[in-house]
Amino acid sequence: MTSVAGVRWGLVFWEQAGRTYASITGPETRTGTAPVPEGATFTGIEFAVGTSLRAVPTPMLVDGGIELPDTTRRTFRLDGARWETPGPDDAEALVDSLVRAGTVVRDPLVAELLRGHRPAVSARTVERRFRAATGLTRGAVRQIERARAAAELLATGDPAADVVAKLDYFDEPHLARALRCYLGRTVRQLREGTGGAIALDLDQRLTS
């Protein structure tokens, strides 16, 4: 499967051949190949931009991740405690528990910034805090999110010229370069649904 650039970190749980695994996944700044073990079943949780793990700095997770040891079908270990291994219906309850315990935290300055407010601190402080919380620069987050939005528009039939105008790309070659860099796809592949499996829910725009 083709993995795509993304700005969020997450937790992934999977079962294969009777064993259970868990890992922390980090933001990804480029496209790549993600192995999908045959016969495995997955449960994944993506956390909002600006949240982070108390015990693991998000910059350490960029373009990588950490496999969590001592995971069983019933529990996994994170931040010095054991938590119930979630299924698809338990993810929200796990997130609530992690937040209440302080295992998942949010930088209030970054949250304010993402709501469109301008914090009363210097631009250098804003960028430093943003990078510490997300592992990425504000510019990188904008570029990745814009490319993903472009992919969704193209997949639903929008002409490339309209996508360029809607998302403020300079021209169609600029759009094409962004798609290759962040999604590993061309405009034609996204419109026709070709190129193989891709780790991006292109139906989300239609069903949300």
Q: Percent of the chain having pLDDT more than 90?
A: 77
The answer to whether 41 and 73 are in contact (CB under 8 A) is no
Q: Which comes out higher in pLDDT, residue 164 or 36?
A: 164
Quick one: pLDDT at residue 40? 86
74 with 152, same domain: the answer is no
Please state the rounded mean pLDDT for residues 75-96: 95
Quick one: pLDDT at residue 146? 97
- In this structure, is residue 123 part of a structural domain? no
* Mean pLDDT, the chain, whole residue set: 91
pTM score over 0.85: yes
Question: What is the extent of the structural domain holding 198?
Answer: 138-207
pLDDT band at 201, cuts 50/70/90? low
**How would DSSP label each residue in 50-101?**
TEEESSS-GGGGTT-EEEPSS--SSEEEETTEEEEPP-TTTHHHHHHHHHHT
Q: Any bridge partners for residue 32, and if so which?
A: 3
158 with 95, same domain: the answer is no
- In this structure, is residue 116 part of a structural domain? no
- In this structure, is residue 129 part of a structural domain? no
The answer to whether 72 and 85 are in contact (CB under 8 A) is yes
Quick one: pLDDT at residue 199? 66
152: nearest Cα among 199, 192, 202, 193:
202
99 with 149, same domain: the answer is no
- In this structure, is residue 118 part of a structural domain? no
Structure confidence by residue, pLDDT tens digits, 109-151: 998 998 888 888 999 999 999 999 999 999 999 999 999 999 9
146 with 193, same domain: the answer is yes
Cβ count near 64 (within 10 Å): 11
Token pair recorded at residue 108: 């209030």
7 with 48, same domain: the answer is yes
Which element (helix H / strand E) includes 147? helix 138-155
